[in-house]
Amino acid sequence: MFFEQFYLGCLAHASYMLASEGEAVVVDPQRDVEIYLKAAEDQQAKIRHIFETHLHADFVSGHKELGVRTGASIYMGASAGAAFPHVGVRDGFEIRVGKARISVLETPGHTPESVCLVITDEEKSLKPWAVLTGDTLFLGDVGRPDLSKMHTPQQLAGLLYNSLHNKLLKLSDDVLVYPAHGAGSLCGRNMRAERSSTIGTERLTNYALQITSREEFVRQLTENLPARPEYFLQDAEINRAGASSLSELPALKPISAAELKALLDDGVIALDVRTGEQFAAGHVPGSINIGLSGQFATWAGTVLGLSARPVLIAESPEQLSEARLRLARVGIEDARGYLKDGIADWKQAGFTLAETPQISVQDLRRRLHADQSRVLDVRREPEWQAGHLEEAAWWPLDNFKVAAPEIDHDAPVAVHCKSGYRSMIACSLLQRAGFRNVTNVVGGFDAWLLADLPVEREKPVVA
């Protein structure tokens, strides 16, 4: 049996293909499906089956396009209410793919329709070999229980406890665990960075599986949930209907510097996808920086929303193409266009560039001692609680779409995250909102720790 995990770092998303005797199955496909078609061709296999473990909320799936292009059947939990041709599956449903067998476990909790897929490679053994756990069980974590309009988080957390203890933990300790997400995904709280595990390892090390009381499990799973991006419920609905093909997206329109300036005056968003260093050195005033080097798609969806029609600013056609694809992966499909010839065109038109000052942690420490600056921490709550600057106010980047932090627009403020990627996004949002004295902390909290500077551990003071 052939088995491959496809890991998309930008979304911390894992999808899978298995093949045997000329037939192939794809599980939880990303929106751009060429990688599966190529892998099937390399294995001289035909994609016959497509499984979705649930209605994904953090990305737009390619199941519909892949089904159209291959003629494969699409399988999904029977309670999903999917609006495209599919097979609704329940406990005990099985398919055979050559000498491999896939059995469905209904595992509601992360979402009502969640399923896990038990894989048996009968060439090697009649016992289960692995389980694809979707967003039910992660490495070191479990799926968040607040993504349903019909169930409360408490109800879903209770269902999740049942699914874990009555279904997944009944599997043997040596069964491999392959989830749909890894570290960095907002579908859980604190996933490990590895790409696979075993039931036995998770039984011993996963904090959620150590909670023996159902009531305590529900309490812990529903307290202090990370902010749920607005686009999550929208993506789930796109996946329920089935997304259109990427080939149907219209071509990006070139926009001159003069046109962009007029659009910015009307409130249109300019999205600069260059690195933070390039953005800091010179950018279109009022533009937002989300660099392609990090979790670009997730942060674009979180801070811009799916209704955004940004003008893209990049340094090459390749960057533009990559940005367009990544935006489409989370459902931002209607980009207004791109700045023709990038920053060079803006400068050639005689328009002024803005800058974002940057500061080292050593200089920040001196400024704080002299009471010459405030410091704003934009990391997530678990990061804050693990350690933070004593003088810092806390306002996670996830909150910026709802409201900017309540600080003086003229006061000097140094912004930091873990390493500098999120803090540059935050700086650009603050500058766009009219904050006039914003500085980015180079290297973020990692650099602060490396310099052996003092750290506090306590509950956050919200900015």
User: Which residue type is seen at 421?
Assistant: Y
Helices (H), 206-304: 214-222, 231-241, 257-265, 276-281, 296-304
Q: Residue 411, Cβ neighbours under 10 Å: how many? A: 12
What's phi and psi for 6, nearest 5 deg?
Answer: -110, 115
Cα–Cα distance measured from residue 12 to residue 5, given in angstroms and rounded to the nearest whole number: 12
Domains of the chain, each with CATH number or no CATH: 2-241 (3.60.15.10), 249-348 (3.40.250.10), 358-450 (3.40.250.10)
Task: Report DSSP state, residue 353.
Answer: P
User: Which residue type is seen at 281?
Assistant: A
Place of tokens 């709550």: 381
**Residue of 1, 49, 45, 50 whose CA lies nearest to 29:** 50
Place of tokens 């061709």: 41
* CA-CA-CA-CA dihedral for 401, 459, 148, 118, to nearest 10: 120
Output the tens digit of pLDDT for each of the chain's 463 residues. 999 999 999 999 999 999 999 999 999 999 999 999 999 999 999 999 999 999 999 999 999 999 999 999 999 999 999 999 999 999 999 999 999 999 999 999 999 999 999 999 999 999 999 999 999 999 999 999 999 988 999 999 999 999 999 999 999 999 999 999 999 888 888 899 999 999 999 999 999 999 999 999 999 999 978 788 999 999 999 999 999 999 888 889 999 999 999 999 999 999 999 999 999 999 999 999 999 988 999 999 999 999 999 999 999 999 999 999 999 999 999 999 999 999 999 999 999 999 999 999 999 999 999 999 999 999 998 899 999 999 999 999 999 988 889 889 999 999 999 999 999 999 999 999 999 999 999 999 999 999 999 999 866 566 6
Residue 142 region by backbone torsions, left for phi larger than 0, else alpha for psi between -120 and 50, else beta = beta
Q: Residue 60, Cβ neighbours under 10 Å: how many? A: 28
Token duo for residue 416: 């930091």
Residues ≥6 apart with Cβ < 8 Å to 321:
none
Task: Report DSSP state, residue 461.
Answer: -
